[in-house]
Structure 1
Amino acid sequence: MTASGGTLLEDRYGTRPRKTSRRTYWILGACAVLLGGVIAWVGYVNLGTAPIETQQVSFENLPNDAMRFTFEVTRDTPERAAVCIVRTRGLNGSEGGRKEVLIPPGPKAVRVTTVIESGDEPVTADVFGCSYQVPAYLSTDLPPSG
């Protein structure tokens, strides 16, 4: 079979398939294993257990749009101080009040009770988040002012 120019198709495209070396397969396999390891590490860092875990224990409405909120904090490094941001929510789900609570170094699991002032009548309270990055104004290491 010839093409319009008179050249055989086999001459133009060749008949032998290219041969892939074993070295190429080893390099591709190593890259796949490395990529899988990176994906697993990123997943562990982002989806692994949190260093500070909280659990809501109770909340109670108080007069003047305030709420007493009790929660439990479990830390992986209990010798470090932590800060938790707690908040109240109104009937429509909006945030009514917010407060930072210092969790001093101590036992691994600690129960904390605080009162949160709210702008409107609160119906629930929750922990917004916790961190080991305690702001200086919450630190107990500072001398008293005033």
Structure 2
Amino acid sequence: MTSTLPEGRYPASTSRSVSRRTKNLLLIVVLLAGLGIAYIGYVKFSVKDIEGTALAFDLLDDSTVSIRFSVTRADPQDDAVCIVRARSRDGSETGRREVLVPGSDAREVEVVSEIRTSQPPAVGDIYGCSLKVPDYLRAG
């Protein structure tokens, strides 16, 4: 038994086609998302102007830690400042120091600095480096 639909009441075709405008809008959204992901990847993984890496630390006594770190600069002639810190066993920061890294001929330099702490230190690390050196570090 076949049923026939009355003519004129229902569309002849039941397939749904996506309009050209919807396709273009979807293409624009996908392109913008791709550009956004590319920008985030570039910012996160591109070569940085300066980078500091902790190499080693020594606990000298109950209030002093010595940290050895390397600084790599895109332009070795630029002065830099690095912030090194000491942390206690519970992870809280117990000492901090800004270290001037003067310009040199080498792209990568190693620096050793001592940090005085308010509690017995457990670890020394590098917080970060910048090419924006404060004037009070240059004056001394």
Query: What is the alpha-carbon distance in structure 2 between the residues aligned to residue 108 and residue 28 of structure 1?
Result: 47
CA distances 1:111-141 after superposition (whole Å, capped 9, x unpaired): 00111110011121000111112112112xx
**Aligned to 2:91, what secondary structure does the other structure show?**
coil
TM-score of the two chains, using structure 1 as the length reference:
0.73
Counterpart of 1:36?
34
Asked if 1:137 is matched to 2:136, the reply is: yes
For 1:55-74, what aligned pairs fall within 5 Å after superposition? 55-63=53-61, 65-74=63-72
User: How many residues are paired up?
Assistant: 133
Matches within 5 A, 1:41-120: 41-63=39-61, 65-106=63-104, 107-120=106-119
Q: Any unmatched runs of 5+ in structure 2?
A: none
Tell me the percent identity.
35
Task: Note the aligned Cα RMSD (angstroms).
Answer: 2.8
Question: Structure 1 regions of 5+ residues with no counterpart?
Answer: none
SS of the equivalent of 2:40 reads helix
**1:8-29 deviation digits (Å, cap 9, x = unpaired):** 532xxx44556744x8756754
Q: Say if 1:19 and 1:124 are closer, same or farther in 2 by CA, change over 3 A.
A: closer
Higher relative contact order (CA 8 A, sep 6+): 2
